[in-house]
Amino acid sequence: MKLKSVNPHNQSIVGELEISTKPEIEKTVYKAKKAFEKWRFVAVEKRVQYIKKYRNLILKNKEKLAKLTTLEMGKPIIQSFQDVDWEVEFLDYYIKFGPKFLKEKTRL
């Protein structure tokens, strides 16, 4: 079975993907828990580097992300661009303040 994303404006299919089975979901959750066992010991500075990479990918694909949001949500393109900008601001906040927030929690 597939999950379909439908454009609310004209009912066209924007995209689709396979729906995960219960065993696939359980396997993914297990992998996430195992990854967390390592991630929680990653230094804050390294975490910030990952966030910066993610932020740069968003900026690199800003137009594509905004257009996709408009297709999927039916909102005006300017609002979709604002949504992407908000996400970048959110990440900027954690790039700036994350080290302060997590400093004591990631040091052993």
Q: How confident is the model at residue 40 (pLDDT cuts 50, 70, 90)?
A: confident
Residues 29 and 76 in one domain: no
Indicate the DSSP class of residue 21.
P
CA distance 77 to 99: 34
SS3 label, residue 88: helix
pLDDT of residue 36: 94
- pTM value? 0.79
Residues 86 and 69 in one domain: yes
Using the predicted structure, report yes or no on whether residue 105 has a pLDDT greater than 80: no
Mean pLDDT for the chain overall: 93
- Distance of alpha carbon 32 from the chain centroid: 15
Question: Highest mean pLDDT range out of 6-10, 11-15, 44-48, 88-92?
Answer: 88-92
Residues 68 and 105 in one domain: yes
Residues 48 and 78 in one domain: yes
HSE toward the beta carbon, residue 26, CA cutoff 13 A: 3
